[in-house]
Structure 1
């Protein structure tokens, strides 16, 4: 079949690679326009656009996929189907109707749970023990279309959202290709999503990533892992933002008030509403990530003893 692939970040690449290496033909990709990235705010191509450049595949980068020029080009490409992985923009009905088999979306949750932009982060934040991925028919509603295939994946106690998403992206690539093959053969019918069990996963903001030391230790741990690597957990120390890597739960650690620090030669502990947690990596403003114990040894004589 002729395929136009829609996606933007690196997590979309395993599926794009699987489709490109199959018997189907990827005739173009649809991705978000070039945008400023990094500290220098240099304008960069999306990972999917960069892949297309390297492989000689046309990259479509409309500001919005309702633009008449994009819709006309999509018709000219005569695609049978448009698989989507983290494209990052709403697709209008006018575009959904163009491919013969419509648009299908790889979503990283067990629908109808965690519909929305950040399903993996919310699954980790909520303490779910199991998640997965679904391929469903894209329609006007928010992740509401019939499901063609699904897989499950356990959430390990130390999983960050980044590590979990990497595993789901690889497994989901195979799932998406299987669905594309079956749809092309006319051998698959979507299963409507149940009305029960619906939950939503809105985009995680920088404010969401601020650690609440007044939460129990397990909730502090979940929040930090949920926002790692992006947007990145942080707290305020001495009037500046301090980024935090995942922590270690330590029931035998010192008894501390929420946000209170205990500095030792080889460890830095922070108090929560329950047990203290041990910091492993921190990143002061304007500096590179560093071992938390080394950072703590530099604070021995500053008088600062608490996170805000």
Structure 2
């Protein structure tokens, strides 16, 4: 198959590498270089870096406008494959490849249509995560599905680790679908069931509510780590929670903080959350216990206050 591939983040790289090993990649479409780090150095996207390493032609476009559409259309691709590109594919580009476009989405559609499926699934406490490959249509993540697969993710995995696992499993799934389209055996079925939506996360989505049960607090921590980041307030100061795990200790009052040798136990509506690493506003990352020691454990100081 002659393919055009569109993607931007690290999660799209395994699929690009897998398809490049099996098919002719006419071009790779990705977002323009972005400023990263404290010095705001313009840096190619992970997909652009992988494409350059593979010696593939690259089209950098902030959106798939008339110019990008023209550049892609002349390639004469059999199929377009998109994985987290970060922009919409509209007509006439949607119909330009002979077989249209397929999309690898990191959810079990119709669950979690939108920009943050893995994060929203974790926040909701879903016990199954997976990937779907579907035919791209104008409506958001609504096309007929070629294949879905449940992909095992560890019970304490945060969003970045979960996405890494899904990216690898999703690459295999996408390769299978592309091969089936190539040999004419592919079939896609309409999505069944009521869809749920997964809009992009905002900073406020990371706020931990200590009045909730531990399971809900930890689920939110997993879903918002590393971005936009789990956080709480202590004595009016915003503190980012970088590493945490469920505790087996006895119940504390919601927001109550008790230090052990290795972590801070913070009370919820049930058992405490063990927080081992934090980043207070304006400071670097540090051990939660060291940070708490620096607060001199003021009597009555609580998380969320």
**Counterpart position of 1:64:** 63
Q: Which residue of 1 aligns with 2:83?
A: 85
In the alignment, the residues of structure 1 paired with residue 104 and residue 174 of structure 2 have an alpha-carbon distance, to the nearest angstrom, of: 7
- Structure 1 residues 146 and 236, CA gap change in structure 2 (3 angstroms): same
SS of 2:28's equivalent? strand
Structure 2: tracts of 5 or more residues without a match = none
1:259 partnered with 2:271: no
Q: Does residue 276 of the first structure (1) align with residue 261 of the second (2)?
A: no
Distance verdict in 2 for CA 1:277–1:215, change over 3 Å: same
Q: Deviations over 1:98-130 (max 9, x none)?
A: 001111000111111111111111111111111
1:4 corresponds in structure 2 to: 4
Deviation track 1:128-166 (CA, whole Å, cap 9, x = no partner) reads 111211100000011111111111124432121111111
Q: Deviation digits for residues 20-62 of structure 1, max 9, x if unmatched?
A: 111x111211111222223333222111112222333222122
Structure 2 counterpart of 1:16:
16
Cα pair 1:217 1:273 within 8 Å, conserved:
yes
2:39 & 2:210 partners in 1: Cα distance? 32
* TM-score between the two structures when normalised by the length of structure 2: 0.93
CA distance in 1, matches of 2:297, 2:256: 16
Distance 1:270 1:117 in 2: 31
Partner of 1:245: 242
* Contact kept? 2:128, 2:150, Cα under 8 Å: yes
- Structure 1 unaligned runs (5+)? none
Aligned equivalents of 1:181, 1:160: Cα separation in 2: 32
**Cα offset for 1:265?**
4.1
Q: Which moved further from structure 2: 216-225 or 277-286?
A: 277-286
Kept in 2, the 8 Å contact 1:106–1:172? The answer is yes
How far the C-alpha of 1:286 sits from its partner, in A, is 3.8
Residue 146 (structure 1) aligns with = 144
Alignment length, in residue pairs?
304
Q: Look up the SS of the partner of 1:96 in the other structure.
A: helix
Partners of 1:128 and 1:35 in 2: CA distance: 33
Q: CA RMSD in A?
A: 1.8
Once the two structures are superposed, the pairs formed by residues 36-185 of structure 1 within 5 Å of their partners are: 36-65=35-64, 67-185=65-183
The TM-score normalised by the length of structure 1 is 0.93
Is 1:213 aligned to 2:206, yes or no? no
**Post-superposition shift, 1:254?**
5.4
Q: How far did 1:303 drift?
A: 5.7
